[in-house]
Amino acid sequence: MMVSSIILRTSVRLILPLSLLFACFMSLKGHNEPGGGFIAGLVASIAFCIYRMSFGAEALLRLLPVHPRVLIFTGLGMAAVTSIAPLLFGLPLLTSRVGTIRVPLVSEPFHYASAVVFDTGVLLVVVGVSVGMIMRLSEELE
């Protein structure tokens, strides 16, 4: 089902990039504060669903050139590797490593946490499942 409103189509062109930017912010913020991959995945999924309602299924397939299953398996792999990797170093399961890296030409060191990789995996799983369900349900209706 596609909604043919010029106002919705025009506003979605602004809402989609802003929603995806906000999802990235929530994902990166989440390893230290409330937020994370799950909430970011929900925000991104809602943006993709609104885009699909505005422009149709073909436009969503052009926007996301990979099948949702690929997103799910990639996200599960990232989360699993990040979860199990600490066991190789004698640490408990799901232990996050933090540190800093000096980046050339930047005065401030870059702070990193391995939880970001786990959150990115969760984000991909949530987006893959949500978009896959919306695409499948819309196929059934059409």
Question: Is residue 103 a part of any domain in this protein?
Answer: no
Question: Is residue 42 a part of any domain in this protein?
Answer: yes
Question: Is residue 69 a part of any domain in this protein?
Answer: yes
pLDDT digit string (tens) for 73-129?
Answer: 999 999 999 999 999 999 998 888 888 888 888 778 877 788 888 889 999 999 999
Question: Is residue 65 a part of any domain in this protein?
Answer: yes
Question: Is residue 92 a part of any domain in this protein?
Answer: no
Question: Is residue 87 a part of any domain in this protein?
Answer: no
What's the pTM? 0.86
Pairing state between β 110-113 and 98-101: antiparallel
Alpha carbons 78 and 66: distance in angstroms, whole number: 17
Question: Is residue 71 a part of any domain in this protein?
Answer: yes
* Number of structural domains the chain divides into: 1
pLDDT digit string (tens) for 3-60?
Answer: 678 888 999 999 999 999 999 988 888 766 667 889 999 999 999 999 998 898 889 9
Range of the domain at 124: 6-80+115-141
Question: Is residue 28 a part of any domain in this protein?
Answer: yes
For the chain, how big is the Rg over CA atoms in Å?
Answer: 18
